[in-house]
Structure 1
């Protein structure tokens, strides 16, 4: 098994050049066309230097994406839950609408046949962000803004699931202008409380 790289032993210049080259190529040529050889040539390093720290191109691109997007940050808490969720989801839509969204699609596609890559994506990117979202939603549950009988992890999935559904399947545009409506649907549901059927279900 490929040993996890020790950051203390990596040459910072080579590391930076490799990450920049991987992302540049993935954006310019498309993730599927990226090779370790191309990354090495663009970064001006030897192929074996890359393989010393990463097992394959996907690992390089994943680290490059994590580097570009930065660490998980705390979700806004202005006291207006709907506004906070709208701002945050709109930001995700804007990010995924850039060239980085296409790179994510390629990386996630590779992860479907590589369980180790899938785990790395989950652990290094999604789990830290899910934890931040859960903190914000837990606070909203505590104040009674959100129902307490649904796990906040499920709420996070309901909030972001449709965004990644559109990203991966191309069923519709990722329009940050629709973020408020997206949040409204989630917070208020889709049922018509004035319909006869709705009244009977009460």
Structure 2
């Protein structure tokens, strides 16, 4: 919260403002994660509000629908055709960014269940079918585009961690996030030490799998 003091020769007025989004504030948000993969690997994210440091009350939660650490989302289309087939199949019924994996009734792809909120492999090369105009970094930048209820975040911020199929336990390693760059990095997260990527609701967030670097930009 910030405090602004407005004064003239006879009076002084103190006004307060806050960056906490209003209830029901649903804003387009994008996450990119750079990860070079091999055939048969797909990338997902799990997340919401950290349940160890930020909201310990969530530690005993059992499902996404009732957890106060889950955040309501609606995933958006990235296009039509083969490059987006898995993403489109797995995003059906995915209404929460949460720590539990697939939600009841979430879509499958050729019999394979989702492992969280799906991302799609994208490139900045406009000659390739996987091209996405928001991708400014090159190949292997996996992307999810969703509308998020920012009022369910922690003062506009949320946590996430990647889950990669056919890769050890699936989880990426714990993260120590570095100071972010970009036009949306003017505000710091209101917490630290969660061992996850920390992203900003309403912005384009770009991370590296298993590393602490981050870039946050306005649309």
More helix by share: 1
| TM-score, with structure 1 as normaliser | 0.26
Give 1 or 2 for the bigger CA radius of gyration.
Answer: 1
Q: Which has the higher contact order (CA 8 A, sep 6+)?
A: 2
| TM-score, with structure 2 as normaliser | 0.25
